[in-house]
Structure 1
Amino acid sequence: MPERISPASRVSGEICLPGDKSVSHRYAMLASIAEGKSRIHNYSTGADCHSTLACVHALGIRA
Structure 2
Amino acid sequence: MRRLWIRGDCWFGCERTEVPVLWLGPLQWDGQHAPVYACSPCLARIQAQATRYFYQRRPAVVRPT
Short-chain TM bin: under 0.3
| Structure with greater proportional helix content | 1
If the length of structure 2 is used for normalisation, what is the TM-score?
Answer: 0.27
Structure with more contact order per residue of length (Cα contacts < 8 Å, sep ≥ 6): 1
Larger radius of gyration between Structure 1 and Structure 2: 1
| Structure with greater proportional strand content | 2
